[in-house]
Amino acid sequence: MALSLRLAKACGSGVVESLILQIQIAVVRRAAVKGGKGTEKLALSNKRSVTLSFRGVLPPEPSSLSKQMESCKLSEESKPQVPLAKLLTIIVTTSPIRSNPSTELLERTFDTFQFAGSEFAYECPKVIVCDGCRVLEDDTGENTDSDEKKDEDPPKITRKYANVKQTLRNGIATVDQAKNYTELKKRLHKLCADSQGTQSTFSNTTVVELEERHGYGFALRHALYNCVETPYVCVIQHDRTFMRPTPIQEVVSAMESREDIKYVGVSMKSNLNYYDIFSSKYSRRACTELKTMIIRPEELNISGNRYGPNGHSIANMVEPPSEKRRKLRDIARQTYMASHQNIIYEEWVESMSSSGANQDGFHQLSLTPTLFWYDNTHIVRTEHYRDFIYNPVFKMVARGGFVEDKLSPIIKRSCERLGLKDGHAKFGCYLLDDHSGDVFTGHLDGGSYNTAGLHVKRNASERS
């Protein structure tokens, strides 16, 4: 009889320790006795022998093993970090507004890019997409022969779009407004050209002009298909500003490590308390499920006392211009602190206190799932926009409209049909929250934006 036993063990450094134990036991009990009909019978014998043989490889000394493991191990800090400029392109959309041809609105918006970090403001490639417009010609010209017809009928304006702001919002401009818009685009080209190679937020910026009106959604699509080579994009409307330091770099890092995060919206006034908005519309069961879907990535556990109610981000926030707005901001903070959005976070911090959550200057930011695709400032995977959101088969974005208008109801129906988790997973949209009670972005309202020159004209007309 022979018995073999082999034991092997592998350590983390790749050194294999093996121990081979081979035991050969030979028991000679051979005393063949032929019986009747040619069969053999075994008889016991007094001769027995046992042979033991050992072969082995001794493990290395503990000191040498630890050195070997240290040489093979790559720490997170030693891994080369890809520059943000190689990962992210900034797309800014603009269209005709009353303040044209002044570039003041865009300059104010671009100046706030510094809140997102110097690399975001000065090194990331930027694209300004200037949407086209339809020109409404005046009817005051001389009458022509009746058989002469214009090539195109003038665009119709309903009562809803009778005022200047709504007319421009619908992509319809007068002859003078169209001339001002053309002049704006010339100034933008010059501003970007003069900024190349300088420490300006307009450096590395390309201006793209669309001949026809596309609307916000299709203007953005044009930029994504023709002007973007990075895996992520940050989409900003021309009147959306950063109000305080915002962790764009950390958000991109979190998206790099988790493929389920496809869209991260930067908080604004209307979605700061999104969990409470959700709970006012859906059942308790849905709210409980949404609570389990909140993500707190390690990349958003940020050090340096930068975020949270007592962070440096709040201290460096742009102050509202009037006392009335400052009071409204303080009320919004108090409302947030008493909201379910914040209570859930405080419960999580308390449950994680034993592991040192929010200690030693660190503060954990959260990504709250959303069923609404906000067109406000957001970071998205480029392929998610190109291959899924703008896939012509799905028809989730309408020409001439905003992305959020048609896409958000589709997300809701997906969750109703597949369940909250599965329905939401296809879109992977989240909202960034540092639980300070303040928003990251503000709104200059480009449709009503007045430059100093327009204010002078308005005051003069009112006096006359």
pLDDT tens sequence for the chain (464 residues)? 444 434 344 444 443 344 333 434 343 344 343 444 444 444 444 445 555 554 555 555 555 544 444 444 433 443 568 999 999 999 999 999 999 999 999 999 999 999 999 999 999 999 999 999 999 876 444 444 444 444 455 555 555 555 777 888 888 899 999 999 999 999 999 999 999 999 999 999 999 999 999 999 999 999 999 999 999 999 999 999 999 999 999 999 999 999 999 999 999 999 999 999 999 999 999 999 999 999 999 999 999 999 999 999 999 999 998 999 999 999 999 999 999 999 999 999 999 988 878 888 899 999 999 999 999 999 999 999 999 999 999 999 999 999 999 999 999 999 999 999 999 999 999 999 999 999 999 999 776 666 655 544 555 454 44
pLDDT on residue 69: 44
Q: Is this prediction's pTM over 0.85?
A: no
pLDDT on residue 61: 56
The answer for residues whose C-beta is within 8 angstroms of residue 29's C-beta and 6 or more apart is 42, 43, 44, 45, 47, 48
Phi, psi of 197 (to 5 degrees): 80, 10
**Cα(82)–Cα(411) distance, rounded to whole angstroms?**
32
Please report, for the chain, the start and end positions of each structural domain, with discontinuous segments joined by +: 2-57, 84-138+155-296+368-448
Strands 205-209 and 126-130: parallel
Determine the residue type at 336: Y
CATH architecture, domain 84-138+155-296+368-448: Alpha-Beta Complex (3.90)
Determine the residue type at 200: S
Phi, psi of 236 (to 5 degrees): -135, 130
**Cα(220)–Cα(215) distance, rounded to whole angstroms?**
9
Angle among Cα 220, 293, 419 to the nearest 5 degrees reads 80
DSSP helix/strand/coil, 61: coil
pLDDT on residue 9: 40
pLDDT on residue 114: 97
Strands 134-136 and 172-174: parallel
pLDDT on residue 353: 85
pLDDT on residue 360: 84
- Residue 100 is given by DSSP the state T
Phi, psi of 431 (to 5 degrees): -115, 135
| Contact (CB, 8 A) for 442 and 240 | yes
- Residue 153 is given by DSSP the state P
**Cα(205)–Cα(217) distance, rounded to whole angstroms?**
21
DSSP helix/strand/coil, 330: helix
Rounded to 10 degrees, the C-alpha dihedral 256/262/264/270 comes to -170
Angle among Cα 398, 401, 404 to the nearest 5 degrees reads 85
Determine the residue type at 198: T
pLDDT on residue 160: 52
- Span between the terminal Cα atoms of the chain, in Å: 119
Buried b (16+ CB within 10 A) or exposed e, 53-84: eeeeeeeeeeeebeebeeeeeeeeeeeeeeeb
